[in-house]
Structure 1
Amino acid sequence: MTLRDITDRIAKAEKNAGREAGAVSLIAVSKVQPNERVKAVLDEGHRIFGENKVQEAAGKWPDFRTQYEGIELHLIGPLQTNKARQAMELADSIHTLDRPKLANTIARLAQEIGSCPDLFIQVNTGEEDQKAGVLPSEADAFITESRALDLPVRGLMCIPPVDEEASLHFALLAKIAARNGLQGLSMGMSSDFEKAIALGATHIRVGSAIFGDRVPT
């Protein structure tokens, strides 16, 4: 599968859902991918990428940004508070705001730095013990709390359980977003992004389908 195959599928899914063309941003997940593969996708003209780890992003994207204009970097992995400053200086968006301590740290740093990336609150829609994210029952309160800190909360993010129907989780995330007046929905990956688009996704995250299988470091 190629980048063109994915963008064609996105366009078809947008049309089938009655959504405007270009309503969905494709985040090419470049974590654990060799630089030559990332460069090939950049050379095709794609500019929106996602990384899981701050350290890997720091070793990759400053150099690419000197070579290519218009790169938009999204951090989509769990974020430790001690990496928050570096994350904020690297990324245009952080998709994993998931706890009050991190919200308070980002708010403090935003005042120091004078800017803040767009933020998505991660919701643990499957209420899985091993997964990060606020519980659905606590999401409204955390959204309110984060907004009270003047944080630029643009939307919500989820990763459905692998053994459950993803559409149920996408619908739940969309419902929480709607009642809180949030437009951004970061949901859907290689295996289920058409379902996510049908339920309102604004950002989908696709990795190996674009780059090929990950190369462990």
Structure 2
Amino acid sequence: MTSIKNKLDHSQKRIAHAAKNASRSVNEIALLAVSKTKPSSDIIEAYQAGQRLFGENYVQEAETKINELSKQYPDIEWHFIGPLQSNKTKTVAHIFNWVHTLEREKIATRLSQQRPKDQAPINVCIQVNISAEDTKSGVLQNEVITLAKHIDGLNNIQLRGLMAIPSANVGEAQARLELSQLQALFIKLKVIYPQVDTLSVGMSQDLEFAVEYGSTMVRIGSAIFGARK
């Protein structure tokens, strides 16, 4: 069985190859290892292989892992990448470094209010429903700037960029259209808010396309940890 270290190495090589093809520096693109549903032992194995950024989707599961690992591995950067409800914001505000799935002013306000004052502001990405699908989370393209303005007025939260999950199982033309629209929106946001530096897009199956269209953080789970049960 291929080790997590070997799978991490393979994923990094894919990112490097995609960056080269897009005439970008590989140093511009971070790998977020999506460890949801996986045991702490898998996270430790990835950590020992050099991985420091981990993504979790479920608050209760993540809280258990973070409490277990944070003292021994204080340099792990924890990213929340799942749907966030109001009743979970306090926990997320206390234990995570990043939230990728911000889509409501109310949630932004609660994260800011509940972030401990002795911690650095929590980094956030606005989730964009780039394909405007009814079944998908995220704000529409024309709502991004309004939400960004609200976030920028809060004290304990830092706007870092955009996150999206493009349409699955569509043709190349549609995939490129969505990614190009997301890239244009990211560039627009960077002009208004100079601290914006993160475009969180691309997963195991489509990271090459994402890198071509400016992704700075790819979220890879199954290609590192194997299929989820």
Note whether the superposition's TM-score is higher than 0.5.
yes
Q: Paired residue for 1:168, among 170, 177, 181?
A: 177
Structure 1 gaps of 5+ residues are none
Matched residues in 2 for 1:149 and 1:36: separation? 37
Residue in 1 that maps onto 2:86:
81
Contact 2:164-2:200 at 8 Å conserved across structures: yes
Q: Percent identity of the aligned residues? A: 39
Task: Classify 1:47/1:128 alpha carbon distance in 2 versus 1 (closer, same or farther; 3 Å).
Answer: same
Q: Is 1:34 the counterpart of 2:39 in the alignment?
A: yes
Q: Is 1:179 the counterpart of 2:185 in the alignment?
A: no
TM-score, length-scaled by structure 2: 0.87
Shift of 1:137: 1.6
Contact 2:94-2:116 at 8 Å conserved across structures: no
SS of residue matched to 2:177: helix
Matched residues in 2 for 1:149 and 1:78: separation? 21
Residue in 1 that maps onto 2:193:
none
Structure 2 gaps of 5+ residues are 191-195
SS of residue matched to 1:66: coil
Contact 1:166-1:192 at 8 Å conserved across structures: no
Q: Is 1:198 the counterpart of 2:199 in the alignment?
A: no
Q: Deviations over 1:52-96 (max 9, x none)?
A: 011111011222222234211100001111111111211111001
TM-score, length-scaled by structure 1: 0.92
1:122-133 matches, cutoff 5 A: 122-133=127-138
1:135 counterpart letter in structure 2: L
Contact 1:140-1:176 at 8 Å conserved across structures: no
Task: Classify 1:186/1:37 alpha carbon distance in 2 versus 1 (closer, same or farther; 3 Å).
Answer: same
Matched residues, number: 215
Task: Classify 1:69/1:213 alpha carbon distance in 2 versus 1 (closer, same or farther; 3 Å).
Answer: same
Matched residues in 1 for 2:15 and 2:136: separation? 27
Contact 1:157-1:185 at 8 Å conserved across structures: yes
Matched residues in 1 for 2:49 and 2:118: separation? 33
2:161 counterpart letter in structure 1: G
Shift of 1:8: 0.7
1:199-214 matches, cutoff 5 A: 199-214=213-228
Shift of 1:194: 1.0
Q: Deviations over 1:101-136 (max 9, x none)?
A: 112212322476664211000011111112211111
Q: Paired residue for 1:139, among 129, 140, 144?
A: 144
Q: Paired residue for 2:160, among 146, 154, 157?
A: 154
1:125 counterpart letter in structure 2: I
Contact 1:27-1:203 at 8 Å conserved across structures: yes
Runs of 4+ in structure 1 off by over 4 angstroms are 111-114
SS of residue matched to 1:152: strand
Task: Classify 1:209/1:15 alpha carbon distance in 2 versus 1 (closer, same or farther; 3 Å).
Answer: same
Matched residues in 1 for 2:23 and 2:52: separation? 25
Matched residues in 2 for 1:44 and 1:111: separation? 31
